[in-house]
Amino acid sequence: MAGHSVPIDFRVNPAKITNPVERKTLLQDLVPVVEPFTGSLTEISVSEVPGGNFVALYASDAMTFSVKLYANGIVSGTVEYYTDQVNEHKIVNDDGRQLERQLREKFGCSVAKVLPALKRAPVINPYFTSSDDRILEYDVDKIVFEKQSDFQKVQICHTLSFGNILVLDELQNLAESDLPYTHGLMNKENENFEGKEILILGGGDGALLWELLKEKPKFVTMIDIDEVVMDSCRKHMRSVCGDCLDNYDGPNYKIIVGDAIAYMKDYIEQNKSFDYVFGDLTDIPISSSPRGELWDFIRNIINLGTKLLKPGTGKYMTHAIGSGCENALKMFERQFSAVEVPVSINRTSNFVPSFMEDWCFYQATRKS
């Protein structure tokens, strides 16, 4: 069950809106274009609002059509209706394209766009965002797991296109389709993990651990604070994590439930070092400057993680954000220049199916 909103937008000469006669004619011409999809519309009101703009409201038996006319020539309309089925569309893609053609022909406008229906207050949320704040709609048909842990809201949603997706605090993290993400984080084909000692910070979905174990490492230590994430992925994301989350102690790996920062500080005091340290924790934030609690956390993780690398060969591997967020990536790169041990950095990227965008990864090598 959900409400649906179909945005209908086009541009006209501003005079068609600012001139009272032309404005009335525009609305009289617009309503018949929309009525084949809404049913017969009755005018409810037409009013002027601040800024020299106008709003109009129409209704049929099953739908409403609201229009805002901006003094700069933008006409922004919305058809709204309710259905018992979330994916029941009364105005489908072909209808939208037909409407666009009719609007261009009727009003001589170069810009006319009718978007697919946006779902309003659906029981299961299908909407997420790309890293640069574009709306992504997923074909979610059910929630297979949901629990509030001590640290975050943990969900696993099933989608028709990407399989199950791990969602943390309403942000998509990893889907069953997303092996390119894990391989991108590993910089697979360019790194040799055989016989290496590896530390994973985070990685509660088990995907990175599972893929690394296939590379015959000497030993992998994984530290994640949220056992609810591991429990849920063990049950519902087995195509991603295999059986590595079934036991926290394996022949060549150990999973620790705890605070990664505390353990890293202990390792530093013990003079322990690793061939690879993976930062599989939070994504870098989008902000105007690298300030705030999350940036402080990221800097702390990078500083401690690079200290644990073997000089000359050890690598700190981490994910970042989508390739479209160049300013955030540059800010992130600058954080490596502030670490206490010198490193050289390299950036790679992989297209991640469920993210629907190119995702960036970094490899920072500790200098001798």
Spell out the domain ranges in the chain: 2-119, 124-174, 179-366
DSSP labels, 99-145: HHHHHHHHH--S-EEEPPPEEES-SS--EEE-TTS-EEE--EEEEEE
Asked if residue 255 lies in contact with residue 248, where contact means CB atoms within 8 angstroms, the answer is yes
Asked if residue 203 lies in contact with residue 170, where contact means CB atoms within 8 angstroms, the answer is no
Q: What integer pLDDT is reported at residue 22 of this predicted model?
A: 96
Please tell me the distance from the alpha carbon of residue 167 to that of residue 282, in angstroms, as a whole number: 13
Architecture of domain 179-366: 3-Layer(aba) Sandwich (3.40)
pLDDT tens digits along 265-278: 999 999 999 999 99
When pLDDT is cut at 50, 70 and 90, the band that residue 260 belongs to is very high
When pLDDT is cut at 50, 70 and 90, the band that residue 1 belongs to is confident
Asked if the model's pLDDT at residue 88 lies above 90, the reply is: no
Q: What residues contact residue 248 under an 8 Å CB cut-off, 6+ apart?
A: 254, 255, 256, 257
Superfamily of domain 124-174: Spermidine synthase, tetramerisation domain (2.30.140.10)
Please tell me the distance from the alpha carbon of residue 169 to that of residue 153, in angstroms, as a whole number: 5
When pLDDT is cut at 50, 70 and 90, the band that residue 160 belongs to is very high
Start-to-end CA distance of the chain, whole Å, equals 61
Fold of 2-119: Double Stranded RNA Binding Domain (3.30.160)
When pLDDT is cut at 50, 70 and 90, the band that residue 286 belongs to is low
The larger pLDDT score, comparing residue 161 to residue 337, is at 161
**CA 36 vs CA 115, 181, 275, 288, 324: distances in Å:** 17, 46, 66, 47, 40
Beta 219-224 vs 197-202: how paired, if at all?
parallel
Q: Does residue 231 have an active-site annotation? A: no
Quickly tell me which residue has 């849920």 as its tokens. 232
Q: What integer pLDDT is reported at residue 37 of this predicted model?
A: 92
Which of 235, 233, 218, 196 has its CA nearest to residue 317? 196
The larger pLDDT score, comparing residue 295 to residue 166, is at 166
Taking residues 172-196, report their average pLDDT. Answer: 97
Q: What integer pLDDT is reported at residue 110 of this predicted model?
A: 84
Asked if the model's pLDDT at residue 87 lies above 90, the reply is: no
Please tell me the distance from the alpha carbon of residue 302 to that of residue 140, in angstroms, as a whole number: 35
Taking residues 278-298, report their average pLDDT. Answer: 77
Q: What integer pLDDT is reported at residue 280 of this predicted model?
A: 95
Asked if residue 311 lies in contact with residue 366, where contact means CB atoms within 8 angstroms, the answer is yes
**CA 167 vs CA 16, 153, 161, 338, 354: distances in Å:** 47, 8, 16, 32, 12
Taking residues 134-156, report their average pLDDT. Answer: 96
Catalytic entry in 205, 275, 280, 283: 280
Taking residues 106-133, report their average pLDDT. Answer: 92
Q: What integer pLDDT is reported at residue 306 of this predicted model?
A: 97
Please tell me the distance from the alpha carbon of residue 223 to that of residue 243, in angstroms, as a whole number: 17
Asked if the model's pLDDT at residue 285 lies above 70, the reply is: no
Please tell me the distance from the alpha carbon of residue 185 to that of residue 350, in angstroms, as a whole number: 9
Asked if residue 169 lies in contact with residue 155, where contact means CB atoms within 8 angstroms, the answer is no
pLDDT tens digits along 205-242: 999 999 999 999 999 999 999 999 999 999 999 999 99
Pair of tokens at residue 26: 């525009």
Q: What integer pLDDT is reported at residue 288 of this predicted model?
A: 53
Q: What integer pLDDT is reported at residue 187 of this predicted model?
A: 98
Please tell me the distance from the alpha carbon of residue 179 to that of residue 181, in angstroms, as a whole number: 5
Please tell me the distance from the alpha carbon of residue 348 to that of residue 328, in angstroms, as a whole number: 15
Asked if the model's pLDDT at residue 292 lies above 80, the reply is: no
Q: What integer pLDDT is reported at residue 117 of this predicted model?
A: 93
Phi, psi of 37 (to 5 degrees): -105, -20
Handedness of CA 23, 25, 26, 32 (dihedral sign): positive
Q: Among residues of the chain, what percentage have pLDDT more than 70? A: 98
When pLDDT is cut at 50, 70 and 90, the band that residue 119 belongs to is very high
pLDDT tens digits along 32-45: 999 999 999 999 99
Asked if the model's pLDDT at residue 145 lies above 80, the reply is: yes
